[in-house]
């Protein structure tokens, strides 16, 4: 495998910070509508990132991702609407709630429930959470959902998508960077080692149970934070936002971007958030085209868009991800 040279690695680090720096200028070129879409991309990036580390890097068929997302969104909305906690403060708290969800999901994996069985039990967890949002009416508002309270940030109303954008961008960049640090370390290697051969991993003095537990918790934290962003993004949380449709959309983002790749999480989220907007030009055919394009990408690039970039230049070879084989 062609690895990046020292110079390419430096370039990669510069790129990592240059891209968000350039993104600071995005609001100059957007209108209210496109800004809303861009904000959605940032949230999807985090949702995809949290998902991909569990199914790609750790190799566990766990589909509790939408549950983490809903827990984060409702956690944030309940804190803000019922207890008057400033929204900004609810972001890390929602992350902790999501992490608690991750802890629950890992408990199943650690009790030896794996593969298809883990898939079905985590899907059930997601549906149970959705059922809870519907029925815990005093807290969640049931089918009516829960509106986010009006708030101002630095003197600007938090209904303004440009203000939201800057907060979302900072949160996203910090969480992507932290996740990249994690995956590029001995921890990230241990995560992939568990995927490749769990028995052999333990023989190298690596506590495999802890590796699985921490991966789920971190995944839950990232996606829980994304939930808090989402609550502010749409301004009103409804149970329907956290159903199978969201899970399948996130799964598609993971695969289109490239399983287990941080770069892929960003690419998949951006592409599949933007695509439906472009397809509005073909009324009645949107879903068909969407499906065809996703299928075409996966046939042409089974390891996703990130694998295309990796082929173009070793700069895009991540220190922390190797395709399963």
Partner 1 sequence: MSDLLIVEGLSVRFSGLTALEDVSFRLNRGEVRAVIGPNGAGKSTLFNAISGYVTPTSGTVHLNGEPLTVLTPHAIAERGIRRTFQNGGLFPALTVLENVLTGLHAQTEGTFFDILFGRRKALDSEAANIARARDLLKLMSMEHMADTPAGDLSGGQQRIVEIVRTVASDPPVLLLDEPAVGLSPVARDQMMDIIRRLAGEKGVGILLIEHAVELVMAVADKILVMAAGKRIAQGTPDEIRQDRAVLEAYLGHA
CA distance 125 to 180: 28
Q: Which is nearer to partner 1, 207 or 302 (CB)?
A: 207
Site string for partner 1, 205-244 (x = CB under 8 A): xxxx-----x------------------------------
Which of helix, strand or coil describes residue 147? Answer: strand
Contact flag: residue 312 with partner 1 (CB under 8 A):
no
Rounded to the nearest 5°, which phi and psi values hold at 146?
Answer: -130, 115
Which among 139, 167, 141, 153 is positioned nearest to 86, based on CA atoms? Answer: 153
CA distances from 227 to 46, 69, 73, 198 (A): 9, 5, 4, 32
Q: Give the binding range for partner 1 (CB under 8 A) out of 84-92, 104-112, 133-141, 202-210.
A: 202-210
Contact flag: residue 7 with partner 1 (CB under 8 A):
no
Among 88, 202, 293, 315, binds partner 1 (CB under 8 A): 202
Give bridge partners of residue 153 from the DSSP assignment: 156
CB 163 within 8 A of CB 176: no
**How many C-beta atoms lie closer than 10 Å to residue 206's C-beta?**
18
Q: Which is nearer to partner 1, 193 or 305 (CB)?
A: 193
Contact flag: residue 10 with partner 1 (CB under 8 A):
no
**CB of residue 318 vs partner 1: minimum separation in angstroms?**
12
Q: Which is nearer to partner 1, 79 or 226 (CB)?
A: 226
Measured CA angle at 228 (ends 111, 159), to 5 deg = 165
Burial 28-65 (b: 16+ CB within 10 A, else e): eebeeeebeebbbbbbbbbbbbbbbbbbbbbbbebbbb
Among 12, 114, 236, 322, binds partner 1 (CB under 8 A): 322
Q: Which is nearer to partner 1, 5 or 156 (CB)?
A: 5
Q: How many residues bind partner 1 (CB under 8 A)?
A: 32
CA distance 123 to 120: 5
**CB of residue 38 vs partner 1: minimum separation in angstroms?**
27
Contact flag: residue 6 with partner 1 (CB under 8 A):
no
Among 42, 80, 192, 269, binds partner 1 (CB under 8 A): 192
Q: Give the binding range for partner 1 (CB under 8 A) out of 38-46, 75-83, 197-205, 302-310.
A: 197-205
Among 14, 178, 285, 288, binds partner 1 (CB under 8 A): 178
DSSP H helices in the chain:
6-23, 32-52, 65-83, 87-110, 115-135, 137-140, 161-183, 186-196, 198-202, 208-234, 244-257, 262-278, 286-300, 304-312
Contact flag: residue 9 with partner 1 (CB under 8 A):
no
**CB of residue 7 vs partner 1: minimum separation in angstroms?**
16
Among 5, 157, 159, 185, binds partner 1 (CB under 8 A): 185
**CB of residue 287 vs partner 1: minimum separation in angstroms?**
35
Which among 140, 137, 148 is positioned nearest to 232, based on CA atoms? Answer: 148
Q: Which parts of this chain interact with partner 1 (CB under 8 A)?
A: 1-3, 177-178, 181-182, 185-187, 189-190, 192-193, 195-197, 199-208, 214, 322-325
């Amino acid at each position: 495998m062609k690895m990046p040279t020292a110079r390419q690695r430096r370039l990669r680090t510069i790129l990592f910070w240059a891209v968000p720096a350039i993104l600071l200028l995005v609001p100059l070129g957007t209108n209210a509508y496109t800004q809303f879409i861009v904000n959605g991309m940032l949230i999807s990036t985090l949702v995809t990132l949290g998902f991909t580390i569990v199914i790609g890097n750790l190799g566990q068929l766990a589909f509790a991702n939408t549950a983490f997302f809903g827990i984060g969104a409702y956690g944030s909305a309940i804190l803000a609407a019922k207890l008057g906690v400033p929204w900004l403060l609810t972001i890390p708290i929602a992350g902790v709630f999501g992490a608690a969800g991750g802890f629950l999901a890992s408990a199943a994996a650690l009790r030896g429930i794996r593969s298809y069985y883990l898939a079905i039990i985590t899907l059930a967890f997601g549906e149970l959470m959705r059922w809870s949002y519907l029925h815990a009416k005093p807290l969640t508002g049931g089918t009516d959902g829960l509106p986010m309270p009006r708030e101002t940030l630095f003197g600007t109303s938090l209904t303004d998508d440009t203000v939201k954008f800057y907060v979302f961008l900072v949160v996203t960049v910090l969480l992507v960077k932290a996740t990249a640090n994690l995956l590029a370390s001995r921890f990230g290697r241990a995560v992939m080692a568990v995927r490749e051969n769990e028995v052999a991993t333990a023989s190298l003095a690596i506590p495999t149970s802890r590796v699985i537990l921490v991966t789920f918790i971190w995944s839950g934290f990232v996606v829980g934070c994304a939930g808090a962003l989402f609550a502010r993004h749409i301004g009103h949380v409804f149970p329907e936002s956290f159903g199978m449709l969201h899970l399948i959309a996130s799964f598609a983002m993971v695969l289109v971007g490239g399983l287990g790749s941080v770069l892929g999480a960003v690419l998949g989220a951006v592409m599949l958030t933007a695509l439906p907007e472009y397809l509005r030009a073909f009324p009645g055919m949107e879903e068909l085209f969407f499906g065809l394009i996703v299928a075409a990408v996966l046939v042409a690039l089974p390891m996703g868009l990130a694998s295309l970039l990796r082929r173009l230049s070793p700069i895009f070879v991540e220190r922390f991800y190797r395709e399963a084989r």
